[in-house]
Amino acid sequence: MTETTDAKTRIKDTVTANPVVLFMKGTKAMPQCGFSSRVAGVLNYMGVEFADVNVLEDADIRQGIKDYSDWPTIPQLYVAGEFVGGCDIITEMTLSGELDQLFETNGVTFDKDAAAKIREANG
């Protein structure tokens, strides 16, 4: 088994085992880049339980997630095993209410009031 196959398997196992996964630089408690911090901040503020995967700890995962999603940047958010997007897409979806709908459709618990506050503050 090659390292890339192993990384792909680990990524697939992670995104299918967890309802919400954020592949990011750093951790949800200590993000290590602004974009990762923004997405983790939105999820934390909305009270979403999510698995965080620190791509800085594993070069195979860092490259593997880009290949897996065919998306060149980190962070990457997955909901119900599906790639949702990176920082700009998550920001847009949060402000439009699409992220709320995605969470509701997939049975992900989140704080609707917090989501509304984000929109109010950025409206």
Q: Report the binding-site residues for [2Fe-2S] cluster.
A: 33
pLDDT, one tens digit per residue, over 70-115 is 999 999 999 999 999 999 999 999 999 999 999 999 999 999 999 9
Binding residues: 33
pLDDT confidence of residue 82? 97
pLDDT tier, 5 (very low <50, low <70, confident <90, very high otherwise): confident
Burial letters for 72-92: b for 16+ Cβ neighbours within 10 Å, e otherwise?
Answer: eebbbbbbbeebbbbbebbbe
Give pLDDT, residue 69: 96
Complete domains list, the chain, with CATH: 3-122 (3.40.30.10)
Residue 3 reports pLDDT greater than 70: no
